[in-house]
Amino acid sequence: MKNVFAFACDQHDLANGLRLITVPLPYPNVVSLYIVVAAGSRNEIEPGKSGFAHFFEHMMFRGTREYPPERYEAVLQETGASSNAYTDDDRTVYHTTIAKEDLETILAMEADRFEHLEYPLDDFRTEALAVYGEYNKDSAEPLHKMFEVLREKAFDVHTYKHTTMGFLADIVEMPNHYDYSRQFFDRFYRPEYTTLVLCGDVDPAASRAMVERHWGAWRRGNYAATVPQEPEPTGARETAIDWQTPTLPHLLMSWRSCRYDDREKDCAALDLISFLGFSETSALFQKLMIEEQSVDMLWSSNADHVDPYLFTVLARVKEADHVASVRNDIEETLAGFRDRLVDERRLDDVKRHLRYRLALSMNNAEAVASTLAHYVSLRRTPETINRLYDTYESITAADLQAIAQKYFIEAGRTVVTLGNPA
Amino acid sequence: MKTVQIGDPTPLVTFRLVFLAGAALDPPGKPGVAYMTSQMHASAGTRTRTYKQILDALFPMAAGIGAQVDKEMTVFAAETHADNLEPFYEIFRETLLDPGWREDDFERLKDETMNYLAVNLRGQNDEELGKEVLYQEIYPDGHAYHWHNAGTLSSLESITLDDLRTFSRANYTQANLILGVAGSFTPDLSSMAEGTASSPKITQPPEVGENSVVIVEKPARSVAISLGFPIAVTRSHPDYEALAIATSCLGQHRTSSGRLFTRMRQLRGLNYGDYAYVEYFPAGMYTLEPPPNVARSEQIFQVWIRPVERAYTLFALRLALYELDRLVREGITEDEFARTRSFLRKHRQLLMKTKAAELGYAIDKLFYEEASAEPTREDVNQAIRRHLRADRLKIVMVAEDAAGLRDELLKGSASPMTYNSPKPDDLLAEDKIVERFPLNIAEVRIVPVERVFS
């Protein structure tokens, strides 16, 4: 494999700032449309308004004059569409997979709601309850709680302090902020924030024409959110959660990480360390999961973010008595990266793993579009994928050591534990 | 052995091996054997390689081997890049034909499975918990479908490696195998034992005579609800297509078009979503598409009400029953019929989005004798009247303060709904009917969560 993202892409900018990326794929008749808005819970800068990007994603299904919700639903249903949306820190994504013959119908309908969304106060207040229901359904899951607490503890000023769902107090207050919801739409649902990704049985020239036809009149906005930047970390932090339902002890350790960058080595090196140190072939996994069997879940992530986020390691420990030693093992693993050069063969294995993993994951039109949606919200071009993977290739054992020394420091550490009260 | 082979224009090779043998064949008193056997093949060492060696070999290829067990099917699924086909297949073949049966693998997998039941399912996923308990209520002890596919905690304690070896030998045979491959490669599995086709004894579950509720008691912010009853319809039944249209219209999984979603969430904000099913659909909270190869000879009709606030639990239950009752009495409209039929036609094509799905559906076709029906609206409405109903239901709720909830359910007093915004008069008038919709609950049982899957 030379380029890991080897599909031919057509990239086209409309005069209003909207970008269209078209990727023809050898899957007959299927088209996947991902509409990526480069705004997520990171953009919720006003106090008391956490969770609004996600709430707004719900409101986008509340109709326009041309397509009230019943008509919107009827059209979707007639096309057999698989359709949904998600919001996270840095993006809101609306996706629909359809037969080729229905593409223009869907493009027209989607353009209409991005341009002309309109909803009454009553619908807004009702939808706020569905969001509250979503918070409630997630609340049985310890990891949701742990990440909620981790963010609050690890960040002081950046909006990554709250989860995408938002602070519970803000969710409860949502029904009272109708005007803010209109403002949110006005700020971010604009062509310069939006990229359309079209993958599957598509012709780039015809797609350009269709998108120009339906999205060309959408007016550019002029808002840029000033997201407060988190100061350098100044000391280790820690907190514990008492969990009422019987569970196993969970240990979530994190270190302040870096922002996504496809050329700088920091971000790519931390990605590699998460696999070298904690994936299923790592020495730690072998020790804790296979030999000692003291842990039944171990993973690590250096999730891509627009601003510096967190490198996280999670372990679910079978017995409370072992939490301290598992924690020590995780610290030792990271100290190993600081103190020693990693084995070159292991490093090559991880690089190969990442390339094949990506290739295997893109096995249908929807999966390719979904992968692109993630990256275009960070760099707005598919080229970032190959650049990132080239950066992975360029990283040496010495790079890893230097970068580990920079990031795995006590001052940047935040730890959250969860378990049943003693 | 049957073979399903399809092409793939990309440099990937997809394997899907389905044995017509699953948890319905667990030996008496040993639920979990089929599940643990699959794990000892897919997630453990082989005779010549330790699990660690397998992980090390597969890692640079980013390939993995997955197992899925349901009542009548066990699936081994894997995908590899053509660059790595030869070394990958060698390992895949070994895991299928020559497992290692090591004690330390067994202990690790047993622990994982027990924690899945005792921690994940009991403690972290009220919705899946409620659905699984509903199945246990509908298929009583003694029925081949009664136990959770992963077994029970006490059974997992007692299962031995010999139980698993025996299960593997008897059931992972050519006679039970449907071999699915996408890509230009044909595996040679002729050294697999020929065996004889397994034949689990699947009987019809007993009729449900009256409405009854089980409340699984645990700390919870809100109340997850599932309800249903057995139906005589599978994909082999002439009414299947009609009932699929009816159920899609009532509550197509994770779409916002169904009546339940529209009436409960969209108009009233009661919860995050509400759906209806005529086929087993595990892990619906994680996936938008139904998993193939969970084919069953017996199915239930089911309504899934996502967690609702405690104060509106009775109203939500009543509204779901009211909608179900309305469907049975009035059927679906011409417009709903046309839209739903169009939806299903196209949606089913879109479900074949991966080679794994395409293989999976082709394999399910070999399980069922699918009737090719083109029902009319009248056929759909007749099928609804024949098979669906809004009474004689098993209802499962996952909630705290179970005693208080039980008293409310048995008392059956009106459960008025209030809103945070003005609502149209016709909706408020409908609420007046819904708040008194008869629950007719004959029995409420409270089960502490610690007792489930024990």
A254 and A402 co-located in one domain: yes
Q: What is the pLDDT of residue B349?
A: 92
Q: What is the pLDDT of residue A38?
A: 97
Residue B372 has pLDDT above 80, yes or no: no
Q: Which two tokens stand for residue B17?
A: 């091996």
Final residue of a structural domain among A157, A180, A215: A215
Stated length of chain A: 422
Which chain A residues touch B272 with a CB distance below 8 Å? 130, 133-134, 137
Determine the distance in angstroms separating the CA of B166 from the nearest CA of chain A, rounded to an integer: 25
A366 and A263 co-located in one domain: yes
Task: Tell me the per-residue pLDDT of B224-255, one tens digit each, with 9 for 90 and over.
Answer: 999 999 999 999 999 999 999 999 999 999 99
Q: What is the pLDDT of residue A384?
A: 97
Q: What is the pLDDT of residue A137?
A: 86
Task: Tell me the per-residue pLDDT of A273-315, one tens digit each, with 9 for 90 and over.
Answer: 999 999 999 999 999 999 999 999 999 999 999 999 999 999 9
Residue A64 has pLDDT above 80, yes or no: yes
Residue A10 has pLDDT above 70, yes or no: yes
Q: What is the pLDDT of residue A1?
A: 59
Task: Tell me the per-residue pLDDT of B82-120, one tens digit each, with 9 for 90 and over.
Answer: 999 999 999 999 999 999 999 999 999 999 999 999 999
Band of pLDDT at residue B179, cut at 50, 70 and 90: very high
Q: In what order do the strands lie in the sheet with A92-99?
A: A10-13, A19-24, A194-200, A30-37, A92-99, A82-87
Of all residues in chain B, the one with the smallest CA distance to A30 is B350
User: What percent of chain B lies above the pLDDT cut of 70?
Assistant: 100
β-pairing verdict for B394-399 and B223-231? antiparallel
CA distance A333 to A337: 7
A103 and A51 co-located in one domain: yes
A126 and A175 co-located in one domain: yes
Contact check, Cβ <8 Å, A77/B10: no
Determine the distance in angstroms separating the CA of B58 from the nearest CA of chain A, rounded to an integer: 9
Which among A69, A136, A348 is the nearest to B222, CB-wise?
A136
- Answer whether residue A176 is part of any domain: yes
A189 and A242 co-located in one domain: no
A194 and A273 co-located in one domain: no
Determine the distance in angstroms separating the CA of B72 from the nearest CA of chain A, rounded to an integer: 28
Give residue A398's identity as a one-letter amino acid code.
A
Final residue of a structural domain among A215, A250, A265: A215
Burial class (CB in 10 A: 0-12, 13-18, 19+), A386: middle
Determine the distance in angstroms separating the CA of A106 from the nearest CA of chain B, rounded to an integer: 14
- Answer whether residue A30 is part of any domain: yes
A331 and A197 co-located in one domain: no
Stated length of chain B: 454
Determine the distance in angstroms separating the CA of A25 from the nearest CA of chain B, rounded to an integer: 10
A242 and A211 co-located in one domain: no
Which among B10, B14, B350 is the nearest to A80, CB-wise?
B350
Preferred mutation among B50, B56, B104, B124 to probe A, highest tally of A CBs within 10 A: B124
Task: Tell me the per-residue pLDDT of A194-222, one tens digit each, with 9 for 90 and over.
Answer: 999 999 999 999 999 999 999 999 999 99
Of all residues in chain A, the one with the smallest CA distance to B337 is A78
Which chain A residues touch B218 with a CB distance below 8 Å? 245
User: What percent of chain A lies above the pLDDT cut of 70?
Assistant: 100
Which among B81, B118, B269 is the nearest to A359, CB-wise?
B81
Which chain A residues touch B265 with a CB distance below 8 Å? 130, 133
- Residue B234 contacts residue B296 (beta carbons within 8 Å): yes
A194 and A245 co-located in one domain: no
Q: What is the pLDDT of residue B338?
A: 96
| Whole-model pTM over 0.90 | yes
CATH code for the domain in which residue A101 is found:
3.30.830.10
Determine the distance in angstroms separating the CA of B413 from the nearest CA of chain A, rounded to an integer: 25
Task: Tell me the per-residue pLDDT of A252-281, one tens digit each, with 9 for 90 and over.
Answer: 999 999 999 999 999 999 999 999 999 999
- Answer whether residue A222 is part of any domain: no
Radius of gyration (C-alpha) of chain B in whole angstroms: 23
Q: What is the mean pLDDT of chain B?
A: 96
Listed by number, the residues of chain A in 342-371 with a beta carbon closer than 8 Å to a beta carbon of chain B are 348-349, 352-357, 359-360, 363-367
CA-closest candidate to residue B32, choices B148, B197, B186: B148
Which among B60, B112, B450 is the nearest to A296, CB-wise?
B112
Q: What is the pLDDT of residue A140?
A: 86
Band of pLDDT at residue B322, cut at 50, 70 and 90: very high
CA-closest candidate to residue A178, choices A49, A281, A89, A5: A49
Q: What is the pLDDT of residue B306?
A: 97
CA distance A416 to A170: 23
What is the 3-state secondary structure of A225-277?
A: CCCCCCCCCCCCEEEEEECCCCCCCEEEEEEECCCCCCCCHHHHHHHHHHHHH
- What totals of helices (H) and strands (E) does chain B contain, helices first? 16, 11
A115 and A262 co-located in one domain: no
Based on the structure, what is the number of domains in chain A?
A: 2
Determine the distance in angstroms separating the CA of B272 from the nearest CA of chain A, rounded to an integer: 5
Contact check, Cβ <8 Å, B421/A175: yes
Asked if the C-beta of A384 comes within 8 angstroms of chain B's C-beta atoms, the answer is: no
CB proximity list for B19: less than 8 A, separation 6 or greater: B73, B74, B75, B171, B172, B173, B176, B177, B178
Residue B337 has pLDDT above 80, yes or no: yes
Residue B371 has pLDDT above 80, yes or no: no
A201 and A96 co-located in one domain: yes
Q: What is the pLDDT of residue B102?
A: 98
Which chain A residues touch B270 with a CB distance below 8 Å? 129, 133
Q: What is the pLDDT of residue A206?
A: 98
Q: What is the pLDDT of residue B383?
A: 98
- Answer whether residue A101 is part of any domain: yes
Q: What is the pLDDT of residue A101?
A: 96
Q: What is the pLDDT of residue B369?
A: 86
Residue A42 has pLDDT above 90, yes or no: yes
Contact check, Cβ <8 Å, A360/B51: no
Asked if the C-beta of A325 comes within 8 angstroms of chain B's C-beta atoms, the answer is: no
Angle separating helix axes A365-379 and A383-394, nearest 10 degrees: 80
Which chain A residues touch B306 with a CB distance below 8 Å? 133, 137
Which among A98, A133, A247 is the nearest to B272, CB-wise?
A133
A53 and A195 co-located in one domain: yes
- Residue A1 contacts residue A360 (beta carbons within 8 Å): no
Which among A126, A281, A354 is the nearest to B421, CB-wise?
A126
Residue B203 has pLDDT above 90, yes or no: yes
Domains annotated on chain B, with CATH: 2-182 (3.30.830.10), 211-451 (3.30.830.10)
Task: Tell me the per-residue pLDDT of A81-121, one tens digit each, with 9 for 90 and over.
Answer: 989 999 999 999 999 999 999 999 999 999 999 999 999 99
CA-closest candidate to residue A376, choices A364, A388, A361: A388
Q: In what order do the strands lie in the sheet with B177-182?
A: B2-6, B177-182, B12-19, B74-81, B65-69
Contact check, Cβ <8 Å, B125/A279: no
Of all residues in chain A, the one with the smallest CA distance to B450 is A246
Domain containing residue A181:
10-215
- Answer whether residue A37 is part of any domain: yes
Contact check, Cβ <8 Å, B353/A366: yes
Residue A360 has pLDDT above 90, yes or no: yes
CA distance A143 to A416: 11
CA distance B448 to B427: 37
Q: How many CB pairs under 8 A join A and B?
A: 201
